[in-house]
Structure 1
């Protein structure tokens, strides 16, 4: 895609390379079903090479450079409904080509020869006061530019490119947004939750990370911002705009984890980004310390802990290392705290305050993981975990659910098989790592409310309705925060 966000009645730009003599495009909208919305005519095909990897790696393309495939510009019909859409590439006339394959459905959402894009209404907030932010910077960081039959394995994680900076470009690992890939994260995290939202009558509008980065007024049209699944990479402007939104009474629900872990710097007219991370290039770290880590004190990092916005941090949480992503995981769920809080209304869950054993939210499901965030905490005399605030978590953060992760292993690059692990933490934080669910209200007369699920897989468990209490908590959350409280 030339740009992943387009407007009803506007135009979209696609970039396609194929050895098929001709091709056509099918379009779908993602909701409770994958609804077919139209098909293009045929276009002539053409093969266009991928740029070589700048480090001269044989068989690898560049993850850092624009692939400069020629553009194909098409109108976005006014009669389409706003939302997340897919475009599917269909070969025509090639020997052994697919000809007229069956339409895609939700069971075949993941794969190559397809791409997603966000269709926005002409007037922001005209259809809903809830904005669903698709985590597109994170998607591009992990995109390996693979295709059927060819494992290119080039991304910020696989054979990355590190640039020294200069001439207006910051130092760090560079990733181009103009590369091919496929649909993976959308199928796992977003699709189940988007379907659930539509089934249960929650209209939402959609935007991308780049939309939030570029438009300081975007959030003024909404009362609730949703961050869903895996939302690891944030620009400074994204974060500044979200923080201003909360100060002015807007609400955020982080149904995500590993959230706001790395800062990114959009470059090249916002068609690429640079992030100074701790990822290997070959066998070496090109630059340490990684200065785009949000929480690390300046000058070794940004010096602005992510949990001052989200309430939690990956450095106090962990992840489940498994060869078969996302892997099977412990199914304990969250130990319930403050069961009388409105978030638990109608669940019937108990917190043990009457002398019994506290219930667990999401018990029997893989709610915890595959990555989780947490807050530094201590237990009071009643055995309730309370945030200490020593890691930057707001003082008003209320821990509503907690799951202690054991054992902990502090080396990100040498995970223990089959155990919870973490990345890094301050030496002064002594509380065990724990997945943490909770919320806080920003200070001041107009401060909004921020909820965090503390786990990447909340939208999966809710979307597939694997646990009635998780579903009810989500409904309580949306019903209360979809309108500004102040």
Structure 2
């Protein structure tokens, strides 16, 4: 019996998994109440009896809801090799960026050659050194090579039409979170299929929105020096020196203007900067915040009801926004729900998410940037939010700051407003420098653009030099709106990394102060 088959049998015995019906191991029978600040790793405690006390509801164990801490997901595991787009060892995508409890998610997978593989399901979060909780596995599956389509003429989009190989029906007692389908072949090749599990019916303190539109905008799959395209680059034949034989190189002029979610993420399937979202999720759960998760498409489609949460949190690089996304965020502030942006270069490109040919939504992302956008009606043409041919509605009106440069190298965050409640307990003084916090990309206040909300406080003013040698200043901004909402913009793309184990206690404390103030202003009742 192969190792994969043995694992499948054991998983089926422990988890009740058969075909597309997916059940997880139950672990310890100790009950845990739904909602509240249930911190992973705590000793589970019984839920208090309701008053008056009807027949008790069956308890949901923490282990069953969260998954059992376990290894077997990392690309650095012994005997594991990361899949490459040049070989397409094993690669796949999911039928949706998110799935609600009780809903079905399909996996579409291709292998370089016939062979066997398995899909393990992990939840990313606060699981100590393991960083993820294992929920179970598919049966052992037979892999075949699927066709890699050519870019579509005109748009450059690459849309796969691979058959579904396995379907996951998400149990209703799982926890919302960032999840991974981990594809591993019998001979050790591995790649990822990321997705989010929602819990649309439950109120929570915070709703964390994964920037899936930005993930896809940067996705160059297949990164094979031939077909791959993103909203940034394609491959073109170019000669490096006069008379040299042309070779295929990345070229901005042959980029796509539409990209499809019906394709894998490049190489081993890990989207650009997804670690920002994973790090925040682990820190928030460790800190005891009650969190649910969603994606850009959920905000766009209206599946997020901001009134259920004290804040919408955008922990990662969230650059590509549709008009629907921005309007719903603006409406949320007016109704008293806070917005917390823990990165930079947010709400930068205006995009559309049109229907695809079979009527599905959220599977195609359109952004022409500087090119002619004849398909876009007036006001819906894609481009920079702040200028034509986009809507000419600068992102600073929503955020209080806006993108102002790519850093040549990380620089210290220079503290401003040290007596503000945001910095309480950090022991920082005015002008203190927190090393390395401002990195990759930065935001700052543009003096000729007003924001649309209440009183603004700048909590950092950090000089830096752009990659082109221009001197700029980064700002961390906090706006207190008349509705009671807070709009926070960290102004550094890598802020969330400083919440992790190798981060900085001052950033962790300040971010906690922010979220605690948000909750104190408008704490959502829990069910």
The interval holding the TM-score normalised by the smaller chain is: 0.7 to 0.9
1:265 corresponding residue in structure 2: 352
Alpha-carbon distance in 2 for matches of 1:30, 1:151: 33
**2:490 matches 1:403:** no
1:107 corresponding residue in structure 2: none
Contact 2:117/2:143, CA 8 A, preserved across alignment: yes
Q: 1:120 to 1:485 in 2, by over 3 A?
A: closer
Contact 1:156/1:279, CA 8 A, preserved across alignment: no
1:30 corresponding residue in structure 2: 124
Task: Give 1:465 shift.
Answer: 4.7
Task: Give 1:341 shift.
Answer: 1.0
Q: 1:150 to 1:78 in 2, by over 3 A?
A: farther
2:232 corresponding residue in structure 1: 157
**2:310 matches 1:236:** no
Find 2:499's aligned residue among 446, 462, 485.
Answer: 462
SS at match of 2:428: coil
Alpha-carbon distance in 2 for matches of 1:157, 1:403: 28
Q: 1:464 to 1:150 in 2, by over 3 A?
A: farther
Equivalent residues in 2 for 1:70-219, closer than 5 Å: 70-71=163-164, 72-92=166-186, 97-98=187-188, 113-125=191-203, 128-146=204-222, 153-159=228-234, 173-181=257-265, 182-185=269-272, 187-215=274-302, 218-219=305-306
Find 1:277's aligned residue among 369, 376, 389.
Answer: 369
**2:446 matches 1:373:** no
Alpha-carbon distance in 1 for matches of 2:315, 2:508: 15
Task: Give 1:186 shift.
Answer: 5.2
Q: 1:151 to 1:42 in 2, by over 3 A?
A: farther
Task: Give 1:185 shift.
Answer: 3.1
1:338 corresponding residue in structure 2: 417
User: How many pairs align?
Assistant: 388
TM-score (norm 2): 0.69
Task: Give 1:187 shift.
Answer: 4.6
Task: Give 1:484 shift.
Answer: 3.8
SS at match of 2:105: strand
SS at match of 2:394: coil
Equivalent residues in 2 for 1:289-300, closer than 5 Å: 291-296=382-387, 300=389
Q: 1:207 to 1:160 in 2, by over 3 A?
A: farther
Alpha-carbon distance in 2 for matches of 1:190, 1:216: 20
Find 1:51's aligned residue among 134, 137, 149.
Answer: 149
Contact 2:176/2:199, CA 8 A, preserved across alignment: yes
Q: 1:180 to 1:374 in 2, by over 3 A?
A: same
Task: Give 1:483 shift.
Answer: 4.6
Contact 1:66/1:176, CA 8 A, preserved across alignment: yes
Contact 1:465/1:471, CA 8 A, preserved across alignment: no
Task: Give 1:217 shift.
Answer: 5.5
Q: Deviations over 1:257-308 (max 9, x none)?
A: 110000110012321011121389xxxxxxxxx8521011x5x331111111
Task: Give 1:184 shift.
Answer: 3.7
Contact 2:225/2:235, CA 8 A, preserved across alignment: no
Alpha-carbon distance in 2 for matches of 1:306, 1:160: 31
Q: 1:31 to 1:216 in 2, by over 3 A?
A: closer
Alpha-carbon distance in 2 for matches of 1:205, 1:405: 35
Find 2:114's aligned residue among 20, 39, 52.
Answer: 20
Task: Give 1:42 shift.
Answer: 2.0
1:441 corresponding residue in structure 2: 480
Alpha-carbon distance in 2 for matches of 1:67, 1:247: 41
SS at match of 1:179: coil
Alpha-carbon distance in 1 for matches of 2:336, 2:281: 25
Contact 2:350/2:390, CA 8 A, preserved across alignment: no
Contact 2:353/2:365, CA 8 A, preserved across alignment: yes
SS at match of 1:137: helix
Contact 1:24/1:39, CA 8 A, preserved across alignment: yes
Task: Give 1:55 shift.
Answer: 5.4
Contact 1:375/1:393, CA 8 A, preserved across alignment: no
Task: Give 1:253 shift.
Answer: 0.9
Contact 1:305/1:392, CA 8 A, preserved across alignment: no
Note the residue ranges of structure 2 that are not aligned, 5 or more in a row. 1-93, 237-255, 373-380
Contact 2:421/2:513, CA 8 A, preserved across alignment: yes
CA-based RMSD of the aligned residues comes to 2.6
Contact 1:160/1:173, CA 8 A, preserved across alignment: no
TM-score (norm 1): 0.74
2:160 corresponding residue in structure 1: 67
2:390 corresponding residue in structure 1: 301
Q: 1:291 to 1:119 in 2, by over 3 A?
A: closer
Contact 1:251/1:484, CA 8 A, preserved across alignment: no
Alpha-carbon distance in 2 for matches of 1:151, 1:115: 23
